[in-house]
Amino acid sequence: MVIFLIVFPFFCALVLALKKKSGLVRRILQFTFCGIIVVADLYFIVTSLISGGKAQYFPETHMVDRLMLVGEWLLLILICYYSFRYKKYYCAVLSVIQTGLITWLELSGKAEIVGYHIWIDRFTLIMALIVGVIGCLICVYSIGYMKDYNSHHSEYKDRRSFFFSMLFAFLGAMFGLIFSNNLIWMYFFWEITSVCSFLLIGYNGSEEAVNNSFKALWMNLLGGLGFAVAIAYSVLELNIVCLQDLVQVGTQVEIAIIPVILLAFAGLTKSAQMPFSGWLLGAMVAPTPTSALLHSATMVKAGVYLLIRLAPALAGNLAGLMVTTIGGFTFLAASMLAISQSDGKKVLAYSTISNLGLIAACAGVGAYEAVWAGIFLIMFHAVSKSLLFLNTGAVENSLGSRNVEDMHGLIVKLPGLAFIMIIGIAGMFLAPFGMLISKWAALKAFIDTNSVLLVIFLIYGSATTLFYWTKWLSSLVAVHHYSDRLKNITKKSEWVALITLSVMTVTLCLTFPFVSSNLIEPFLQDMFHQEVTAVISNGNIFIMGMMLCAILVLPLAVRFLTFGKKHKIVMSYMGGANTGDDRSFTDSFGNEKKMYLTNWYMEEWFGEKKMLKPSLILSTAGLVVLMILAIGGAL
Amino acid sequence: MTTAIALTIGFIILGPFIGGLLEGMDRVVCARMQGRQGPPVLQPFYDIYKLFNKQSILVNNIQDLLVCGFLVFVVFSGVLFFMGEDILLVFFALTLAEIFMVMSSASANSPYSSMGAQRELVQAMTYEPMLLLTAIGFYIAAESFRVDDIARTDIPAIVYLPGIFLGYVFILTIKFRKSPFDLSTSHHAHQEMVRGLTTELSGNILALVEVAEWYETVLLLGVIGLFFVNGTWWGLVLALVGILVSFFFETFVDNVFPRVHWDTMVKSTWMFTLIAGGINLFILVLIR
């Protein structure tokens, strides 16, 4: 079953790459593939849970290892081809070094250490759920979206078959990555995701897209280099090639901090933490499904997945300090930067970076409450963020803009999409919805481990997060009189994805106690070898439930509270006389003046010009100093 | 348990009366500071009675819904507080209420009310860190987030949390809409953007906002009390004195300082939070 989940998406990718002609056949093929993956994924998760939720496979896999080596060389050739074509030689150099290192390890036979190549536990299952279900929903959405995208942007070449095939390849690589226990296997899939994202970001072929795709490539290759060196070191010095063993040893042997910190470094680059945040922001030039996939279900989640796996080995040492400092700092800095953005997708991108920072910080703390919070953040974030991205894409197709300012009054113009967006935004930060629960648990864990700096980052970061989300939320509900409803051109396939995701957002909020007690707590018990108590008490869960109900019954309460009095509806007050449509007024000279309302962006405080460079410099300095200290201290 | 229920019922029924009375006293004291006679103490009640009897004039159909959200969640967070529940949850619910209010005035699409909403949001961003830090401080001092546990500790929390207490009083100025931080809407007539946040609200809907703010006043002063109580009678007396002193301190500040620009507010509050609250937190963690 595991093999099927890894191999089948690649097979789909191959089929779609060959199916160049667009039309009904291809659409049906895509739907079927997505359906098969989701069903197989759910079947796999349920059967594994019934059989205890844990399994290991394949201690001996010589043939597959050789095949992967061939695959790695193919990737190398691909990267070299593109780097020479666009004269970005540094990418080729990075790639040659790491592939050479891995090849040498494999061929010299040093890496043939006994251990299970595939490892499945409850955390893997959660990730499989996210990758399979959300990933497939994004694929379904992209069918309708890409059609509009290519008709809007006729200047770009229609390479849809390539695009779809890359989406599926991405899913396959993600499945491979989360199931692997052997670091070399993991590294192989890690590289595939890097290359896939490079190809997806460069989809347009415009100059900006190419530049940004190379930015993504070199940053991820740098992380990959860290990964490769970590493998080499742990094989040569510790005689370990499996992640689980490394984590196990990492809690006891001091020198193990070197591979651990290098892996953590790789995780930080992949999850776009500062100073590597640039590639994820650059990824916006790609079509929306790419961003949704990169931001929610795959890619960046691979980075934090690795960090959470490493969590026990990070507890209370310099490697952990590095991860928490960078993560906490990124949480604060990215949420401040998000304030100054008006491009909807850019706000989402910064918010992703910021939330990943929080997850990384949770992993770095290494206490079980923190890891609990981290896993929940991954889940809630995956669902709400993919919802928001897909929805922004749908709004963009109907509205012709994805600027938050243009979404002013969306509730009148496109009520359906506006409601979905409200659900998504509420899911991102509002009590009693998902993310807040995990933020709460994270806060508690930070205090319990006496991390004062993290607490400070968290409280300020929460305040700035509150600002940029509420700003967006209040733009949506603004009502202009005499606004016309826009024609909603969202396709059926897009609606399927949007509605499923909104239902999932709400369901996850309602069922999180069950997820916690059945999936996450047993996993933490195995991971930390200690009794795990519920992080959020039942009483509080009950109160949150009440809050959720209160929000739902609010419309009824209004009837009651206003005593059935008739309201009089008038035009809004503008200082001068409102000319009748809330858009212009008569000034003191009797002339008609247009009025335009905007949100606050505080450019001179939180603008990219002002904040981005210092944050990058600070985080680079922190990263370098802490890595040197950790590695130097262990040697 | 019985005291908790009694307190909660007391809060729901008496909350607005205490809040209104405090506002009346505030207006009298304020007038005397300015050498005026001032209105009678019960004036806020006369005002609200009148408001309730007026037809409300709205600019759209979701304003009243959102205002009710504000009222419901302010009362809800007050109930949580007096029931002795988790203090973080109290503040989260209060933030949710605040967001309803902001959305309500942003929905009106009038320049004054929108501006008020944006400023209110800046205010929320400004006091949020200190609010969370207050909850964290209580947690470390009493080793529990639950209000009833915090209220029952032997040593009043203020002993451990002097810096956090000062920080809390600082943000109370924002919360009570007192000058120098009454940016989004003001109790005084010299507001430069009509009524800011509540420009487009009137009649009984505006009355609901007033009532909600009275509830909020009682809740926020209750948190002041929480710094002092320790389960004994003199703790209660101390709490009462603390509440009255802080409340009239806010009135005093209101009369002494002129309104500041928003960025001065953000800068000074965040700095104060970091210095008073942050250092207090750091020391607490060290001696823990």
- List the Cα angle B228/B234/B240 in 5-degree steps: 55
Per the prediction, chain A carries an average pLDDT of 85
- pLDDT at position B168 is 95
Phi, psi of A351, rounded to the nearest 5 degrees: -65, -35
For residue B64, which residues of chain A lie inside 8 Å, CB to CB? 558, 562, 567
What does the pLDDT look like over A586-600, one tens digit per residue? 777 878 877 777 888
- Using a CB–CB cutoff of 8 Å, tell me whether A556 touches chain B: no
Lowest mean pLDDT among A167-181, A183-197, A238-252, B209-223: A238-252
- pLDDT at position A536 is 75
Lowest mean pLDDT among A81-90, A256-265, B261-270: A81-90
Instruction: Work out the average pLDDT over A145-154.
Output: 79
- Using a CB–CB cutoff of 8 Å, tell me whether B276 touches chain A: no
Lowest mean pLDDT among A324-328, A369-373, A534-538: A534-538
Instruction: Work out the average pLDDT over A603-614.
Output: 84
Is the pLDDT at B276 greater than 80? The verdict is yes
Instruction: Work out the average pLDDT over B166-180.
Output: 92
- pLDDT at position A565 is 57
If you search the block for the tokens 């800068």, which residue do you land on? B267
- Nearest CB among A471, A550, A554 relative to B65 is that of A554
The token pair that represents A407 in the structure block = 């979404």
- Distance from C-alpha of A270 to C-alpha of A277, rounded to nearest angstrom: 9
For chain B, how far is it from start to end, CA to CA, in angstroms? Answer: 30
- Distance from C-alpha of B97 to C-alpha of B81, rounded to nearest angstrom: 15
- pLDDT at position A436 is 82
Which range has highest mean pLDDT (A93-107, A521-535, A537-551)? A93-107
Contact B122/A467, CB-based, under 8 Å? yes
Q: Residues with Cβ < 8 Å from A488, sequence gap 6 or more?
A: A398, A414, A416, A417
- Using a CB–CB cutoff of 8 Å, tell me whether A555 touches chain B: yes
- pLDDT at position B99 is 92
- pLDDT at position A560 is 65
- pLDDT at position A562 is 56
Instruction: Work out the average pLDDT over B105-128.
Output: 89
- Nearest CB among B58, B69, B118 relative to A569 is that of B58
Q: Name the strands in the sheet holding A577-578, side by side, starting at the edge strand that comes first in the sequence.
A: A577-578, A584-586, A592-594
The token pair that represents A481 in the structure block = 């009189």
Is the pLDDT at B44 greater than 90? The verdict is yes
| Other CB atoms within 10 A of residue A492 CB | 9
DSSP state letter for A316: T
Interface test with A, best of B59, B115, B119, B143 (most A CBs within 10 A): B59
Q: What is the largest CA-CA distance in chain A?
A: 87
Is the pLDDT at A566 greater than 70? The verdict is no
Q: Are B277 and B167 in contact (CB under 8 A)?
A: yes
Q: Is A542 exposed, middle or buried (0-12, 13-18, 19+ CB in 10 A)?
A: exposed
User: Residue A55 forms beta bridges with which residues?
Assistant: A120
Q: Model confidence at A563, in pLDDT bands (50, 70, 90)?
A: low
Contact A477/B102, CB-based, under 8 Å? no
Q: Are B174 and B269 in contact (CB under 8 A)?
A: yes
- pLDDT at position A163 is 87
- pLDDT at position A479 is 80
CA-nearest residue of chain A to B65? A558
| Contact map slice: B 25-84 vs A, CB within 8 A | 55-62, 64-66, 68-69, 71-73, 76, 80
- Distance from C-alpha of B165 to C-alpha of B130, rounded to nearest angstrom: 10
Higher local confidence (pLDDT), A569 or A245: A245
Domain boundaries, chain A: 2-561+598-634
- Nearest CB among A463, A471, A573 relative to B110 is that of A573
What does the pLDDT look like over A45-58, one tens digit per residue? 898 888 877 777 77
- pLDDT at position A289 is 86
Q: Are A634 and A230 in contact (CB under 8 A)?
A: no
Q: Are B78 and B211 in contact (CB under 8 A)?
A: no
How are beta strands A568-569 and B57-58 bridged, if at all? Answer: parallel
Higher local confidence (pLDDT), A183 or A595: A183
| Other CB atoms within 10 A of residue A529 CB | 9
Q: Model confidence at A557, in pLDDT bands (50, 70, 90)?
A: low
Instruction: Tell me the three state secondary structure of residue A586.
Output: strand
- Using a CB–CB cutoff of 8 Å, tell me whether A567 touches chain B: yes
Compute the nearest-CA separation of B259 from chain A (Å): 20
DSSP state letter for A255: G
- Using a CB–CB cutoff of 8 Å, tell me whether A591 touches chain B: no
Strands (E), A353-444: none
Contact B136/A466, CB-based, under 8 Å? no
Q: Model confidence at A559, in pLDDT bands (50, 70, 90)?
A: low
| Contact map slice: A 126-185 vs B, CB within 8 A | none
| Contact map slice: A 525-544 vs B, CB within 8 A | 539-540, 543-544
- pLDDT at position B58 is 81
Instruction: Work out the average pLDDT over A1-19.
Output: 84
Is the pLDDT at B78 greater than 90? The verdict is yes
Share of chain A above pLDDT 90, in %: 17
- pLDDT at position A72 is 86
- Distance from C-alpha of B86 to C-alpha of A50, rounded to nearest angstrom: 36
Q: Model confidence at B31, in pLDDT bands (50, 70, 90)?
A: very high
Q: Are A155 and A199 in contact (CB under 8 A)?
A: no
Q: Model confidence at A561, in pLDDT bands (50, 70, 90)?
A: low
Q: Is A113 exposed, middle or buried (0-12, 13-18, 19+ CB in 10 A)?
A: middle
What does the pLDDT look like over A456-482, one tens digit per residue? 999 999 999 999 999 998 888 888 776
Q: Model confidence at B226, in pLDDT bands (50, 70, 90)?
A: very high
> How many whole angstroms from its chain centre is CA A166?
18
CA-nearest residue of chain A to B198? A573
Can you spell out the DSSP letters for chain B? -HHHHHHHHHHHHHHHHHHHHHHHHHHHHHHHHTT-----TTHHHHHHHHHHTSPPEESSSSHHHHHHHHHHHHHHHHHHHHTT-BHHHHHHHHHHHHHHHHHHHHHT--HHHHHHHHHHHHHHHHHHHHHHHHHHHHHHHHS-SBHHHHHT-SS-GGGT-HHHHHHHHHHHHHHTT-TTS--S--SSS--TTTTGGGTT--HHHHHHHHHHHHHHHHHHHHHHHHTT--SSHHHHHHHHHHHHHHHHHHHHHHHHSPP--HHHHHHHHHHHIIIIIIHHHHHHHHH-
Q: What is the largest CA-CA distance in chain B?
A: 58
- Distance from C-alpha of A188 to C-alpha of A186, rounded to nearest angstrom: 5
ipTM: 0.94
- For the four alpha carbons of A416, A420, A425 and A430, in that order, the dihedral sign comes to positive
- Distance from C-alpha of A445 to C-alpha of B188, rounded to nearest angstrom: 44
Q: Residues with Cβ < 8 Å from A166, sequence gap 6 or more?
A: A13, A196, A199, A200
Is the pLDDT at A558 greater than 70? The verdict is no
CA-nearest residue of chain B to A472? B103
What does the pLDDT look like over A412-468, one tens digit per residue? 888 888 888 988 998 888 877 778 888 888 888 898 888 889 999 999 999 999 999
Higher local confidence (pLDDT), B21 or A66: B21
- pLDDT at position A12 is 86
- One-letter identity of residue A215: K
